[in-house]
Amino acid sequence: MSSQPLVSVVTPVHNGEAYLGECIESVLAQTYQNWDYTIVDNCSTDRSREVALRYAEKDSRIRVVTTDRLLDVMKSQNTAFRQLSPEAEYCKMLHADDWMFSNCLEQMVALGEDHPSVGVIGSYRLDGVWVELDGLPFPSTVVPGQRLCRSMLGGGPRVFGSPSALLYRARYVRQRPEFFDEADFHADVAACYEILQDSDFGFVHQVLTFTRTHPGEQSSFAVTLRTYVAGRFRHLVKFGSGCFSSREYEDRVRVALAEYYRFLAKGLTTPQGLEMLRYHRSALERIGYRFDGRRLMTAILPYWWYGIRHPFVMARLLSRLPATLAPTSSSAAAMPKAEQVAKASAHPVSEHRVD
């Protein structure tokens, strides 16, 4: 029996034939050998299942599970997490179009074994052609969880977000029947906040994972509508009271809400402004904050001067004013159609570089 702790790697896939082989090969190439690997085929209509089965026939550590119906992204990922082996001490989510460098598991597990207080382990990631998640100064190997949460909720550096870039201590995954909150569009970030309430964050200062971005995936939807703005506000409201004093928490929520409305006002000057407004109006309602059209009108005022000098921008603003003041309907808190489409897509959402 290996003295190395077992790592369960899981990959949910829906129509990921193009990149799945590269993903699987990166697991097989790991210098760390004590792993098992479950690929959850989410009713793919391409050859994803055949690709996965071909590898499973060659390596007994790989198994393939098929869902009985098409699941949305969060449900698919939670199904994958439930495949965690009972003996596993660590869990690694790897999206079907991402991959790991060969020393990824070895480096992350070594840090976890050296520091038992660590619940989540991250590293730099290659996001397309950019190195990301580089907010921690070298050599910050272990950061107290509460301190990191406080820093990030206060607008500090973002050092996690993409599940492919993280390793979880398995007991935290098992504690929750649904590891990702399926009502949260950025549930991967929320899961880290949850774990770090009573554990520390470990970080390997090496590029250990690659995250692929391409048009049409859910993360592209997130960038277009800036869904992470709602996600950050939601997480501040949900977790901030445990990280700040009562007065500090109230002040930070007040400032964040003012910034949110300024963001929405500026967004109305962009081509996707009306769709953005619909999304964030609904998001605010679901977080528990009634949308205030008059407050948005006040935030728009600085953009009138810009609009006067740019007639097309002015025309946009004038055409969208009725939407800012329209009363909230009984279904305002329902998920916008654009988000429903994104949640059913093959690719999960995570924060990517925005230039």
Going by their DSSP bridges, the two strands 90-93 and 167-169 should be labelled as antiparallel
Check residue 346 and give its pLDDT.
Answer: 45
Residue spans of alpha helices (H) in the chain: 17-28, 48-58, 73-81, 104-114, 145-153, 170-174, 187-195, 218-225, 227-239, 246-267, 273-287, 293-300, 302-309, 311-325, 337-343
List the chain domain ranges. Answer: 7-212, 227-343
**What's the pLDDT at 161?**
67
pLDDT for the residue 312: 59
Pick the CATH number of 7-212 from 3.90.550.10, 3.30.530.20, 3.90.110.10, 3.40.50.1220: 3.90.550.10
The DSSP bridge pattern shows strands 130-132 and 200-211 to be unpaired
What local confidence, expressed as pLDDT, does residue 147 receive?
A: 94
Residues lower than pLDDT 70 in the chain: 1-2, 161, 214-221, 303-355
Residue 330: what pLDDT? Answer: 41
* Structure confidence at residue 214 (pLDDT): 62
